[in-house]
């Protein structure tokens, strides 16, 4: 009797955690989309073609907002990325490689939030590290995923390439604010698409499991 109660309680907790995770990831995706717009609304004097997005961390009206948006986004893309890796990459070695790159990119984004532009070089190192590492994570995931699912892997490879090419937007503009916005939007789009695909895969497995249990 105690064992049955424990099992039911455990299942309820697991379901609740999964539900909270989904809500959090969706919230972080939404924040990734609208956070630059919200900051621009509160700091209309900022010209994003001449200032990087990190400039919002130096303005009193938007500093805390920008900080919390980056922190929420950091954990959101980490949580989503970890789930994606677990569902699609079965090789233990490749799984660990991707999780290491994802973890380093997440730490870099958190560092970008904590170490603002007033710290100069340190901030640039964290920001550049996130740009390169997360881009590398998406590209590498696509490459590994293409070993078993070519079409889906190609989507991530192309997305990773587009993220890298977004850096070219610094050529026509005096600052990299526009390039950062495009990079973040591509990043958020990839996370949204993979989030939807992963949840469809999970539901499909649950349905198949239930069918097999009914047949047996």
Q: Provide the mean pLDDT of the chain.
A: 86
Question: Confidence class of residue 207 from pLDDT cuts 50, 70 and 90?
Answer: low
Q: Name residues whose C-beta falls within 8 Å of residue 4's C-beta, 6 or more positions apart in sequence.
A: none
Among candidate residues 66, 141, 131, the one with its CA nearest the CA of residue 105: 131
The pLDDT of 47-61, averaged and rounded, is 88
pLDDT tens column, 157-190: 999 999 999 988 888 887 888 899 999 999 999 9
| Residue among 195, 159, 194, 179 nearest 36 (CA) | 179
Give the count of domains, the chain: 1
The pLDDT tens digits for 76-99 are: 999 999 999 999 998 999 999 999
Domain extent, residue 111, equals 2-215
The number of beta carbons lying within 10 Å of the beta carbon of residue 172 is 9
Of 14 and 183, which is predicted with more confidence?
183
Q: What is the pLDDT of residues 95-131, one digit of tens each?
A: 999 999 999 999 999 999 999 998 989 999 999 999 9
Per-residue tokens: 21: 């995770």
């Amino acid at each position: 009797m105690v064992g049955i109660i424990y099992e039911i309680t455990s299942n309820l907790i697991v379901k609740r955690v999964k539900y909270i995770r989904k809500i959090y990831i969706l919230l972080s995706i939404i924040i990734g989309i609208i956070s630059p717009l919200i900051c621009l609304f509160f700091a209309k004097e900022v010209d994003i073609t001449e200032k990087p997005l990190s400039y919002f961390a130096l303005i009193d009206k938007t500093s805390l907002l920008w900080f919390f948006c980056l922190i929420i986004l950091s954990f959101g893309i980490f949580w989503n990325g970890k789930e994606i890796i677990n569902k699609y990459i079965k090789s233990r070695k490749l799984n660990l490689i991707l999780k290491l790159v994802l973890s380093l990119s997440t730490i870099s984004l958190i560092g970008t939030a904590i170490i603002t532009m007033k710290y100069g070089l340190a901030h640039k190192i964290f920001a550049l590290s996130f740009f390169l590492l997360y881009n590398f994570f998406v590209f590498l995931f696509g490459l590994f995923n293409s070993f078993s699912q070519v079409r889906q892997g190609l989507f991530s490879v192309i997305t990773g390439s587009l993220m890298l090419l977004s850096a070219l937007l610094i050529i026509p503009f005096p600052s990299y604010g526009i390039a950062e916005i495009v990079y973040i939007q591509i990043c958020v789009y990839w996370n949204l698409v993979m989030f939807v695909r992963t949840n469809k895969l999970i539901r499909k497995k649950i349905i198949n499991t239930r069918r097999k249990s009914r047949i047996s």
